[in-house]
Structure 1
């Protein structure tokens, strides 16, 4: 394993909520095919999640018990993750959405992430390149022990929240998928393991090589016996065999018209129409279909020093203290 323990991964899921859970996050330069281009492993099947009753009450079929081999691999991953005190990575997300006109809507995003787990809470630094900006400037979010600080290069302004330090129990929505925090430790899944196991059939599918590293392949089949509780219809995770860190993940949303209280006519292509436009009379109205999200963690290393989480606000900079409303 080439990851260095003396130098010790984050991403983003875009959520659209319209009468139910919709949405996804995104990664780059791949097409929505049935085979993973890098690993050669089959992509998760485009399974449909059976919607709940007419009243919208979720139902849940019995979730199969994982095999002994799957349980053994999961336990091995947990043991390795217990040694992760922090990590850094380049996180690339790509979302491919099938549209009703037969075309694809592609969203891509790259973030640079540093995370550290401490007794005071989870420290984080996320740098996001500005879209369409060739200057190389990045939007920067830092959460240290005392505050959270966001630098907006478009406004050349620092937003400081003194109530948003590491000890704050509420994770910012845009950070949660990246921190993978569960009780201040690295967590295999974005949701808690108990929730995942209650809503998905988890199976071990062998090993593959990802970014030059050997990885366990885990597949999650959301609601295999019917129901409408699992957020994703299917997921596949490639987990580093040496550290337990997730190196790659694909996820598929169920068809929107199979979800309780949500129909295809509720959500439109944001390139053409406002998501909240309730009229389909416009000539460019195009409806969302299935969505596939691929997340890749590259340039991964273990171990992060505290100085990475310094806010570095320059003297004389434009600062807005959002926690108390003063500037």
Structure 2
């Protein structure tokens, strides 16, 4: 599938909620926009987990433009799409590369967020751009994580730096950057241990990892990406705010979007967190990563064909 096809498939569940439920609000001759309609619309938007404030703004926009009128579904959808694009507005935000030498990317997130798979997808993307890549297996708390990253590295044909069992993650990060410098590798992706944002000692470790990277490249990491699991919905917001501070995050990779009807959480992320959503991930294949474009995202959320 092409990029747009993958976006459409990834948003299928969200689109089904929006289009099917909104369609059910209407009769063939249209419907009066009154308080009952607005309450029903509010409930549908909440299902996508976009949060209280964005939902209220969308409902208010429909009310402002249409209250007291009999309208058809397409009229309401057009208003919703226009307002959503305004709420989610950001420039496309691909990776910022180093002016010279290796570009170092630190990746963090809670256990089970899809971090290792997202790293593989990033590595695949860089390889597709003709760049050399090395991975740093910094999730030393879980032997399975190191093994999994190594398997992905072999599959993708990239190098993977691993420390002895029990190594400090900051040491592995240092060694991975050192390998990139010594071997003229263009992109170094450093994994970190999955952790809860409430674990203060582990959160402080993210700062140590970042500091160890800077011992060799002062301006690195050039990107610190937070992987969020779309299926967690609003819970991802508190994760993002805590990680952003500890890791100096520069952007978000939203994973597992195909596994949820909560695609609206992207709206909440854009509204509540001062970070761009850089990439969105669908599925388990290493190609399933797409540069986030808000306008295309909104269009696919309301794709009538996907909605059924």
Name the TM tier (shorter chain).
under 0.3
Calculate the TM-score normalised by the size of structure 1.
0.24
Q: Which one has the bigger helix percentage?
A: 2
